[in-house]
A = this chain, B = another copy of it.
Amino acid sequence: MGYTNPAKYHIKVRLYNGEIAFGKGVAQILRLVEEKGSLSAAYKSMGMSSSKAWKIMHRAEADLGYALVKGVSGGASGGGTVLTPEGRELLARFTAFDEAIQAFAAQKFKELF
């Protein structure tokens, strides 16, 4: 059989200081924390285990050097989890970076394959 183009591609984007720390998984947790106001609601809605969620959150925060989320208590909702300003900032920049790369890759894939 001769050459045929592969049907699909996958581009994984990650940010880090010392080790691979922040990618699609942590970003998705942060987006869901923002939406749901709760870390456990966030990882449960992704079908992710508590241990995996905490592991990737801790690894990201340790590598970046600041907290991405913080607990809040009281209020009508009885407390929960919100993004820190640093978490919100990094999420916004990662999202812009990832989206730009995915859009560029989609165009290039059409040209080359």
Contact = CB atoms under 8 A, between A and B. Distances in A.
A54 B92 CA distance: 41
Interface stretch (A10-18, A45-53, A72-80): A10-18
Contact of A97 (B17, B101, B113): B113
A94 B100 CA distance: 20
Interface residues of A, number: 38
B97 A108 contact: yes
B12 A17 contact: no
Contacts of A25: none
Contacts of A16: 6-10
Interface of A: 1-17, 20-22, 64-66, 85-86, 89-90, 93, 96-97, 100-101, 104-105, 108-109, 112-113
